[in-house]
Amino acid sequence: EIVMTQSPATLSVSPGERATLSCRASQNVNRNLAWYQQKPGQVPRLLIYGASARATGFPARFSGSGSGTEFTLTISSLQSEDFVVYYCHQYENWPRTFGQGTKVEI
Amino acid sequence: EVQLVESGGGLVQPGGSLRLSCAASEFTFSNFAMSWVRQAPGKGLEWVSTVTDNGGSTYYADSLKGRFTISRDNSKNTVYLQMNSLRDEDTAVYYCAKDHGRGGGCLGDWGQGTVVTVSS
């Protein structure tokens, strides 16, 4: 099983600042990596797929990069609604696996 | 807009069984793989299982050890998760999710979830 490790577990930043979230895969997943955003009490939403393609409805301040085993989600200028939890997810191999999540807090 | 509506959750004793259903609409159901993902209270997301578009292949999390079975009925636009020998640690919100694209692999649309509580 591919283990996905996200860091940090909690990221403390101020509104307007840049946030950089990391996700590391224990094996090569090529670019089969997605990011999801989950607000409190809500359903997860696909944010990034194919490592860098932004899903419908998300603004350009969200960007993804990386390939192989190292991936990054960058939020260029944090808005109040961005202070939530983000998960990475590999869909290269079975079983699919998620990272444990990064909480972005003020 | 894609609609995914889960049902079948509830309270069950350890060792019991439940069958979850997910009714899909507003897309061509038979063109997409479907998955179940769960989230224990206060915890992260855990992928549970996926069934391919025609039902020909199924995949499971290693931790389930044969207790769960995913299936689909394309004539009813519904995917199922049969859960047997339930344990306390199976307590979670169970989400049904649709592949982002045909063969995409990531999860583009999610239902609202159904709550499963395993407790005596």
pLDDT in tens, B21-51: 999 999 999 999 999 999 999 999 999 999 9
By C-alpha distance, the chain A residue nearest B97 is A44
Q: Give the confidence band of B107 by pLDDT, cuts at 50, 70, 90.
A: very high
Contact A34, A99 (CB under 8 A): no
A75-96, pLDDT tens digit by residue? 999 999 999 999 999 999 999 9
Q: Give the confidence band of B102 by pLDDT, cuts at 50, 70, 90.
A: confident
A24-62, pLDDT tens digit by residue? 999 999 999 999 999 999 999 999 999 999 999 999 999
- Please tell me the predicted confidence (pLDDT) of residue B87: 97
- Please tell me the predicted confidence (pLDDT) of residue A104: 97
Residue B49 C-alpha, separation from nearest chain A C-alpha, in angstroms? 8
By C-alpha distance, the chain B residue nearest A51 is B106
Q: Per-residue b/e over A82-98, b at no fewer than 16 CB within 10 Å?
A: bbebbbbbbbbeebbbb
Average pLDDT over chain B reads: 96
Residues of B in contact with A49 (CB under 8 A): 100, 104, 106, 108
Residue A89 C-alpha, separation from nearest chain B C-alpha, in angstroms? 8
Token pair 């159904």 in the structure block, residue = B114
Q: Which range has highest mean pLDDT (B34-43, B58-67, B93-102)?
A: B34-43
What percentage of residues in chain B have a pLDDT greater than 70? 100
Interval A1-7 mean pLDDT: 97
Whether B69 has a pLDDT exceeding 90, the answer reads: yes
Contact B95, B36 (CB under 8 A): yes
**Which of A32, A95, A100 is nearest residue B105 as measured by Cβ atoms?**
A32
* Cβ distance of A101 and B44 shorter than 8 Å: yes
Q: Give the confidence band of A97 by pLDDT, cuts at 50, 70, 90.
A: very high
- Please tell me the predicted confidence (pLDDT) of residue A6: 98
Whether B103 has a pLDDT exceeding 90, the answer reads: no
B36: nearest Cα among B119, B104, B75, B92: B92
By C-alpha distance, the chain B residue nearest A90 is B106
* Cβ distance of B105 and A97 shorter than 8 Å: no
Q: Give the confidence band of B120 by pLDDT, cuts at 50, 70, 90.
A: very high
- Please tell me the predicted confidence (pLDDT) of residue B104: 73
Residues of A in contact with B112 (CB under 8 A): 43
Q: Determine whether B15 is exposed, middle or buried from the number of CB atoms within 10 Å of its CB (0-12, 13-18, 19+).
A: exposed
